[in-house]
Structure 1
Amino acid sequence: MREIRLFELDREQTVVWQGPAAEPPQSLQVLQGLLWLTVEGEPTDHWLRAGESFEIRGGQRVWLGTWQEGARMRVSQPAKTLSTSGGGSVLGTGLRLVWRHLAVRLASTAGPGRRGVGAQAE
């Protein structure tokens, strides 16, 4: 599963972007306009047009700005592995909880003398 966020910068607007150091890289893609990007500690700036991308590493401080027009961009994180076994992702935990809830409902609707899914032996 990926998180995708959309942002718009107004003309001549500049913002600072910095994610936690422990985060995986994020992909920034310009959807519309012209985006100026400079990375702390790098000697050159980047100019990105619609369709062009830049990878922002975790903990990296980046300045984003526009010139005479605004810009729209998409920032996404790489797909995370889905897990349904011990200690997995939030999604995996959610799936286990849904399954448990379903098992309890089936057991309670099985009626007297019948065993449904999740019923325990006596």
Structure 2
Amino acid sequence: MREIRLFELDPGQTVFWRSPAAERPQSLQVLQGLLWLTVEGEHADHWLSAGESFEIRGGQRVWLGTWQDGARMRMSQPAKLLSSSTRHRALRIGLPLSWRSIAARIASRTATRFSRG
């Protein structure tokens, strides 16, 4: 599961965004308008238009601003990936349950056919 947040900036508005250091990268995607983005420590600014995205790393400090029309953007984090041991354990637990479910359906169908004669 992942969290997705939508934001709108009014025309000429500038805001500060800080990604917590412990978090995984966040993806910022511009949905509408033109977004000006300044990352602390970088010499160049970024200009993103609708459809473009930028990855904000954990601990980065970013200033976001708009031009004349404002902007709408989406901020999301990638889904957490299961570790291989967790995935393997889930598969071991889930496989017998799915086979039991299939066996129960086959038994139910067979019993229905025999009861019809």
Normalised by the size of structure 1, how large is the TM-score?
A: 0.66
**Cα distance between partner residues in 1 of 2:23 and 2:34:** 26
Task: Confirm whether residue 61 of structure 1 aligns to residue 61 of structure 2.
Answer: yes
Three-state SS of the structure 1 residue aligned to 2:15 is strand
Q: CA deviation at 1:67?
A: 1.0
* Structure having greater relative contact order (Cα 8 Å, sep ≥ 6): 2
- For the aligned residue pairs, the C-alpha RMSD in angstroms reads 1.6
Q: What is aligned with 2:79?
A: 79
Higher fraction of helix: 2
Question: How many equivalent pairs are there?
Answer: 85
Q: CA deviation at 1:40?
A: 0.3
Q: What is aligned with 1:9?
A: 9
Task: Confirm whether residue 34 of structure 1 aligns to residue 53 of structure 2.
Answer: no
**Cα distance between partner residues in 1 of 2:20 and 2:6:** 19
Larger Rg: 2
**Cα distance between partner residues in 2 of 1:22 and 1:65:** 25
Normalised by the size of structure 2, how large is the TM-score?
A: 0.69
* AA at the equivalent of 1:25: P
**Cα distance between partner residues in 1 of 2:82 and 2:12:** 41
